[in-house]
Homo-oligomer: A and B are copies of this chain.
Amino acid sequence: MKQVVTFGEIMMRLSPPLNYRIPQASSLEITYGGGDANVGAALVHLGMPAAHVGCFPDNAVGHAAVQAFRAHGVDMSHCVFRGERLGLYFLEVGASLRASRIVYDRYNSAFANLQPEWFNWDDILKNAQWLHWTGITPAISASAAQATREAIQAARRLGIMVSADVNYRRNLWQYGQKAQDVMPELVAGCDMVVCTEGDAADLFGIKADEGAENSFVSMSEKLIERFPQIKQVIATKRKTQSASHERIKGMAYVNGAYYQTLYFDINPVVDRIGGGDSFISGYIYGQQHYPAVEEALTFATAASALKHTIHGDVNLVTAAEVEHIMAGNTTGRLLR
């Protein structure tokens, strides 16, 4: 099977045990993740080959990050070891009415300082069937944006599917260019996007029609009109009850039709980081294994629901486990 290739930054995540606050912690638990690499790693666990492309400092911390994703089975052979530091973030896990809180410490990372010419995309993508990126990558630095651009161009050239999680984070864009100027060109090269109404409004000035029956549908129609390469728009909707209790459903607008799932109830939430990434990997997998959009979408949403019960950024579940949930086994009966 051909690979799904992801491109983006992998960071070290440092988190106090349980629900401790950082000043209480005498140790921090570490995991490694990135919004794009998480998609690839989850795909491998589901059963599809994936490769990730990134840039890491050539020190123990950088190698630790790479080893973590190699353990998942991701092909890391295209990664580059240059630069000063691995980006990192601190996560305090909340509970009940106290929100989880992230402190980023990612500036000047090896990935932010990458040079586009370090990556030969024609070579990287020669065994690929799919390229996935997120809106975080072009937000990090001009060179990361340029590398994203080149990757998309190569993918188009080679006839490879391209998907993006547009994921607009206002305070990341600090290198002098505006998301509104950079993102349209990149998104224009995509076949499938994850995009919320908020993202569409902020990035592209696309607003659902007032009074539209379904604002996601309205937004999706306009998005596809603007970017005709896009064939599918997907997203999750969260009804967050508390830091410990989440409800999510999946939505898709595909070929002019709207699909949605029922809400999945997740209580308690073990770890909600990477919930969106696992939705995407579930959808990529689902598309290739189910004839109906409904099924692919349900698979994706069930996978995302399961992710909320998994520690770390990456969705460590098999396709069989997701199908078990799809089949309605959501009461958690002990499996022997």
Contacts and interface: CB of A to CB of B under 8 A. Distances in A.
Interface of A: 14, 17-30, 59-61, 63-64, 67-68, 70-73, 84-85, 90, 92, 94-105, 107-108, 169, 171, 240-245, 264-270, 272-273, 305-306, 308-312, 316-317, 321, 324-325, 329-336
A244 B264 contact: no
Contact of A240 (B70, B71, B169, B332): B332
Contacts of A266: 96-97
B61 A22 contact: yes
B241 A97 contact: no
Given A24-B311, A60-B90, A309-B19, A244 B332 contact: yes
A329 B94 CA distance: 13
Identical copies in the complex: 6
A80 to B, nearest CB: 16
A322 to B, nearest CB: 10
A217 to B, nearest CB: 24
Nearest to A336: B102
Contacts of A305: 97
Contacts of A64: 22-23, 25
Instruction: Give the 7 A-B residue pairs with the shortest CB-CB distance, closest first.
Output: A243-B332, A71-B71, A23-B64, A22-B60, A98-B309, A97-B330, A67-B71
